[in-house]
Amino acid sequence: MSATVSERRIAVAAHRKNSLHRQRQWALYGSYAALAVFVFMFLVPPFYTLMTSLKSSAEISAQTGSPWLVKHPTLENFWYLITYPNFQRYYMNSVIVTILTVSVSMVISVLAAFSLSRMGFWGSQLLSTGVFLTYLVPPSLLFIPLFQIIGSLGLINNFWCLVLLYPTLAVPFCTWIMIGYFSSIPKELDEAALIDGAGYLQMLWKIFIPVAMPGIIAATIFAFTVSWGAFLYPLAYLYTSNQMVLTVGIISDLIRGDVFQWGKIMAACLLASLPPIVIYAFLMDYYVAGLTAGATKG
């Protein structure tokens, strides 16, 4: 009798185990299928860009064979761009604007986030919310009033205006990330530093910045992405090629009237994508850790 009962129990347990195993398997298949769709969607455009950039203008316009494959691969588009002075100028302008934007944004964000999250002055909560709300204002609403300001500063058609403008996009979100990150650092750490003899700036420099490095890297990547990829402001405020940055330089220089130099445009896009790819590849782990660390205190 007891043998029968125990056999039945084993059978029930085995059935449960099997059904759990099957459920897990289906969940796994589902995940892979969804991931495959995403990977396909996100990799097809760069693949097409790469294929087109390796084609000569003749092959692109021939319209024979599959557009997804290259019959006679060539690097002539890349070589043209690398040796093209305007493209070099766009690249250099983008690099200068981005380095300065990231530096300015990070200095402001780190200082703002530290004071808002740690110094607990009157109105700091309200100010934190206010900082985030400014991020919600779309740039398209701002570029006409900003045109007035930039104009009054005499910076229209001068890429330095971007160093002033981009931080307005980057600082609120970077500050928000940093507030989250700084808030996750135990309060006792600053108290220990205060007792050890540190002032607020020493505490920030020697304790908070090293401890919050993943958050700082995440915010830096965000500021970099904003600055490197921004299109609207340079389109609105820059109109000569010696002042342009990559995003507007590529389309204004490589699209002449109704002639699209597709091979060169695609090659330029790939060359312009190189810095973000390199930065993301090296810092992705920090980026994810930095974005999620502030979410939960622990």
Task: Catalog residues that contact another protein under the rule CB under 8 A.
Answer: 186, 188-189, 191-199, 202, 206-207, 210-211, 213
Residue with smaller CB distance to another protein, 1 or 195: 195
Provide the H-helix boundaries in the chain: 2-53, 57-62, 76-82, 85-118, 124-135, 139-152, 160-183, 187-196, 200-203, 209-211, 213-229, 232-237, 246-254, 262-293
Min CB(290)–another protein separation in Å: 15
Min CB(223)–another protein separation in Å: 23
Q: Which residues contact 152 (CB under 8 A, 6 or more apart)?
A: none
Residue with smaller CB distance to another protein, 176 or 208: 208
Give the integer Cα–Cα distance in Å for 176 and 200: 20
Min CB(122)–another protein separation in Å: 11
Min CB(206)–another protein separation in Å: 8
Residue with smaller CB distance to another protein, 73 or 186: 186
Residue with smaller CB distance to another protein, 207 or 232: 207
Min CB(192)–another protein separation in Å: 4
Residue with smaller CB distance to another protein, 60 or 219: 219
